Structure 1
């Protein structure tokens, strides 16, 4: 019996871990990577707080010709929004992070109130 228990425990440790996909559970609803803000509002309701900022990010593009490769860099503006959901004192608060209107990350905060 101990050998079986040890084997099962070891087997669970070898299972592949899930990727860092953004997933937010709101009651019976689930939203994940790529969800729009309207999808999240529909499934989770209004957040307790919203923060928004704009970031400038340099992006490089390469173009190959028959004889050479040229690299150009341009600045892209990204709108980052963080929505905080408070699901009560029994659950951790969740911060949904959007880039240009699409869900890209979900972070846990402290326990809600």
Structure 2
């Protein structure tokens, strides 16, 4: 019974929604790749959403004599590929041109 539970756990990990790689034809796209590399391997995405987010921190001195603020503007692009009904749709998120996340979205059309 322990072996069955182990196999079920391993299969759940294999088929979870988040991935670190995506196959496009004979090429493999990995988290960490840049937009132009992904475009060259996979072609035009079915949809693209652009937005900007602000990331940062504020450091407070215990006596409140000094507050340091450090913020950065991050360009976010979200691409969706629909490879058809035989494959899962793919969500790709880029931050400042670098691939940060690959996620399965379910069956394509």
Unaligned runs of 5+ in 1: 1-5, 62-69
Give runs of aligned pairs for residues 29-48 of structure 1, distance below 5 A.
Answer: 29-48=27-46
What TM-score comes out, normalization by structure 2 length?
Answer: 0.73
What TM-score comes out, normalization by structure 1 length?
Answer: 0.71
Q: Aligned-pair distance for 1:27?
A: 1.8
Unaligned runs of 5+ in 2: 60-65
8 Å CA contact retained: 2:81, 2:91 = yes
Q: Distance in 1 between matches of 2:20 and 2:88?
A: 15
8 Å CA contact retained: 1:22, 1:103 = no
Give runs of aligned pairs for residues 29-108 of structure 1, distance below 5 A.
Answer: 29-59=27-57, 72-108=68-104
- Larger Rg computed on CA atoms: 1
> Judging changes above 3 Å, is the alpha-carbon distance between structure 1 residues 14 and 55 closer, same or farther for their aligned structure 2 residues?
closer
Which runs of structure 1 show a deviation greater than 3 angstroms over 4 or more consecutive aligned residues? Answer: 6-15
